[in-house]
Structures are given as structure tokens and as C-alpha cells.
Amino acid sequence: MIWDLLLVLLAFALLCLTVVLFWPVLVDRPGDFDVDSPPRRSWAAGVRKRSIGCAMPSWSWLATDGFVNGNNDSSGGLIVESDNQLGFDIDFDDETQAWLDWVAPERMELGIRAFLAEVAPDVPPDSLWWKPPVSTKVLEAAERLFGDWEGFVALENRYVADGFVRFLGECYVRRAGMTWANRPEWGDLLYADFGPAVRYGEDIRDVVAMSETLFRKNYGPRMVEYNMTDAGAQGRNST
């Protein structure tokens, strides 16, 4: 008799424990819940954002002004901090993606090589083209080729003008320790979605606007070269 009573009490206790453990699930389940159906995926689980590559460097990106920051590695101005593998996709708007494509080191290298082949074919692409006297020679050749500022921004010369912007910006990157930056409002003469600039701390320079110096009266290649001497780390060290 006593054992029967104990078994009843034990069964009742187990029933109470089961109700306590599973009551939230039974109460909170949706009305169309089917215990035999597989769990439904979240609506976002099937959304795949546009990928910029499953294995890429990590960017140091300041969303406030569009700058690409970091330490200069002389590989095209795009700053690569590490070779970390990314296990997820990053969604960029079209303008940001256009900038990242333009400033990618391999494209920067190819663009400058094509520019040198067009403007100064006697300058080897593996030479120190960003330093005088070779850089001065390239600037003089570019001045002759474009003729004036109108020729530089002319639609038929956009490809070569883009090469010059790459060349000039990389001279600042490699000689003055500056980095590439994106200021879209500065690029409308040549670019639709971005504006190439170079920066070092608070020193930010519009590369398209600096290109005009080459064609100003009494300026030319010598003034372009001179302007690089007070840029970036060089400028700070001289003050």
C-alpha cells in the first residue's frame, strides 16, 4: 500500500516537472505550428549579399568620409592590413565598389604600366618612375601629349588622363607616405562615382585638381615635383 502511494506521488512529481519545463514552448508556439514539420528558416537566411571575394584583405574603412586608411605598403595605395580570410560577404553600394575596384593594387599597377607605355615608352615600368629624374621625364612627356588642361579633360583622352591620375597619386603615395582616399565630390571632371585623393593625417589633396598644375603658366613639371616635397610625412618633418 505504501509503495503504491509512493509510486503515485513520484508519477505526479514527474508530470509537474514536465509541465514546468515545457509549458513556455507549448504556450508560445505559433498557431500554425506543426510538431512534425521541420523548422522554418529565417527570411534573411536565404539572402546572399554581393561578394567581393571569399579571401581578401581586411579593409580599414571610415564610413564617415570614405577614406581608406592604414600604413603605406607601396603596392598601389590601397592599404592592406592583413591577409585574414573573411567567412562572410560584405555588401557595398555601387559607388563604393567602383572605388575599391579602381584603387585595387593590381589595377593600379596595370593602369600605370599602360600609362607609361602610352606617354613615355622609353621608361621601363620596373624603374623608379615615381622619383626624379624619371618622374620629371614622365611629367614632361605628359605635358606634351595633352597640350593643355582642356586636352587633359577631353572625353577622347579620358583613358590616358586616368593613367596620369594614377601615376601622380602613386608618386605621392610612394614618395610622401600618403594613402589613397575617396572624395566623390572631387572627381566629377573625370569620374562619375568617386574622386581620387591622397591623404596623410589632415593633409588631404585632390589628385585631379593637382593635375591641373602641370598645365598652368609658369608651373609645369617642376612645380608638380616641388609640391610633392611638402606633402605627407615630408611636409610634417619640414615644419
Taking only the tens place, the pLDDT of each residue in 156-185 is: 999 999 999 999 999 999 999 999 999 999
What is the chain's alpha carbon radius of gyration, rounded to the nearest angstrom? 31
Mean pLDDT over each residue of the chain, to the nearest integer: 75
| Residue labelled with grid coordinates 563604393 | 96
Tell me which amino acid residue 139 is. L
Q: How far apart are CA 128 and CA 120, in angstroms?
A: 13
Beta strand 61-62 pairing with 67-68: antiparallel
Q: How far apart are CA 106 and CA 224, in angstroms?
A: 26
Better-scored residue on pLDDT, 68 or 121: 121
Quick check: 121 pLDDT over 80? yes
Quick check: 38 pLDDT over 80? no
Quick check: 144 pLDDT over 50? yes
**What ranges do the domains of the chain cover?**
61-81+90-238
Q: How far apart are CA 163 and CA 157, in angstroms?
A: 10
Quick check: 10 pLDDT over 90? no
Q: What is the mean pLDDT of residues 57-84?
A: 35
Q: How far apart are CA 53 and CA 62, in angstroms?
A: 20
| Residue labelled with grid coordinates 615644419 | 239
Q: pTM here?
A: 0.63
Q: How far apart are CA 174 and CA 89, in angstroms?
A: 31
Identify the DSSP state of 214: G
Quick check: 235 pLDDT over 80? no
Q: What is the largest CA-CA distance in the chain?
A: 116
Q: How far apart are CA 101 and CA 85, in angstroms?
A: 19
Q: Where are the beta strands (DSSP E) in the chain?
A: 61-62, 67-68, 179-182, 196-200, 203-206
Q: For position 20, what pLDDT does the model report? A: 54
Q: How far apart are CA 20 and CA 111, in angstroms?
A: 69
Q: Are 179 and 173 in contact (CB under 8 A)?
A: yes
